[in-house]
């Protein structure tokens, strides 16, 4: 089976802009979760989608949003980018909510 | 306050030595997972433990879930340079919180 894919792998944006990241889960996985990883805070949970519905949400501002499509592919959007949003954004898919996660390689976002 | 505390944060040892890393919490988890992450890649699942007191072995790696399901440990026997990486534990509590990750242990095995 093909693994989790994320696009783009690297992105540079300017403060105030918005960005959309994409994730394609493993075939058959209906749960997709998004995480932000930084050296200071580690891996922090953003949100989880299952069958196109947001099931869980982490403690992030409303600038962070996501959605899941009927084919389980997911996108996350960050509006009004801030310098502190610079991070590695990881997507993970799983068979069920909060189950074993299979991660993609991540998108490295740099905000200048 | 971090829900899952991992220790040590950094560990550098020689090839062939044994080591243990810990994952502790005051909360009870329905399951706990361990991942290893290498630079430039996403974390890779190593094991899931679900029963209090459970012990799982993966070659030279031994994982244990605490009896009260609040803590876990990872023991590596005869460490090898290929074991180098960031080791992360993650707990599931159900509810609407999603998985909670610890900050990880950065492990370096020197040849």
Beta bridge partners, A44, equal A36
The full DSSP string for A52-102 is TEEEEE-S--TTEEEEE-TTS-EEEEE-S--GGG-EEEEEEEESSTTS--E
Does B97 contact chain A (CB < 8 Å)?
A: yes
Beta bridge partners, B22, equal B7, B73
Q: pLDDT tens digits for A21-75?
A: 999 999 999 999 999 999 989 999 999 999 999 988 889 999 999 999 999 999 9
Bond before B8 cis per omega within 30 degrees? yes
Indicate the burial class of A67 (C-beta count within 10 angstroms; 0-12, 13-18, 19 or more).
middle
Q: Give me the residue from A41, A48, A104 closest to B42, CB to CB.
A: A104
How many beta-carbon pairs below 8 A join chains A and B? Answer: 61
Q: Give me the residue from A43, A47, A100 closest to B101, CB to CB.
A: A43
Q: pLDDT tens digits for B60-105?
A: 999 999 999 999 999 999 999 999 999 999 998 876 677 889 999 9
Interfacial A residues in 89-108 facing B (CB < 8 Å)? 90, 92, 98-106
Are B84 and B18 spatial neighbours (Cβ–Cβ below 8 Å)? Answer: no
**Chain B residues with beta carbon closer than 8 angstroms to that of A48:** 98
Q: Give me the residue from B41, B101, B103 closest to A105, CB to CB.
A: B41
Give the pLDDT confidence score for residue A56 in this predicted structure. 85
CA-based nearest distance A22→chain B, Å:
15
Give the Cα separation of A58 and A6 in Å (integer): 20
Please state, as a whole number, how many other Cβ atoms lie within 10 Å of the Cβ of residue A56. 20
Q: pLDDT tens digits for B4-40?
A: 999 999 999 999 999 999 999 999 999 999 999 998 8
Of B88, B98, B80, nearest to B30 by C-alpha is B98
Q: Is the dihedral of CA B9, B34, A108, B40 positive or negative?
A: positive
């Amino acid at each position: 089976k093909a693994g989790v894919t994320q696009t783009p792998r690297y992105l540079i944006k300017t403060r105030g802009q918005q960005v959309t990241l994409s994730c394609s889960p493993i075939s058959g996985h209906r749960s997709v979760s998004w995480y932000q990883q930084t050296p200071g805070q580690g891996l922090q949970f953003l949100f989880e989608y299952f069958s196109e519905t947001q099931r869980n949400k982490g403690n992030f501002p409303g600038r962070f949003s996501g959605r899941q499509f009927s084919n389980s592919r997911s996108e996350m959007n960050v509006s009004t980018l801030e310098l502190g949003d610079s991070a590695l954004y990881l997507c993970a898919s799983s068979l069920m909510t909060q189950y074993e996660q299979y991660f993609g390689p991540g998108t490295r976002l740099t905000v200048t | 306050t971090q829900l899952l505390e991992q220790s040590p944060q950094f560990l550098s040892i020689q090839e062939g030595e044994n080591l243990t890393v810990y994952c502790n919490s005051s909360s009870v988890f329905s399951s706990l997972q361990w991942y290893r992450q290498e630079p430039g890649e996403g974390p890779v699942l190593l094991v899931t433990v679900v029963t209090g007191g459970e012990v799982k072995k993966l070659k030279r790696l031994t994982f244990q879930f605490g009896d009260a399901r609040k803590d876990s440990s990872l023991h590596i026997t005869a460490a090898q340079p290929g074991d180098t990486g960031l080791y992360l534990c993650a707990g599931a509590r159900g509810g609407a919180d999603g998985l909670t990750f610890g900050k990880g242990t950065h492990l370096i095995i020197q040849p």
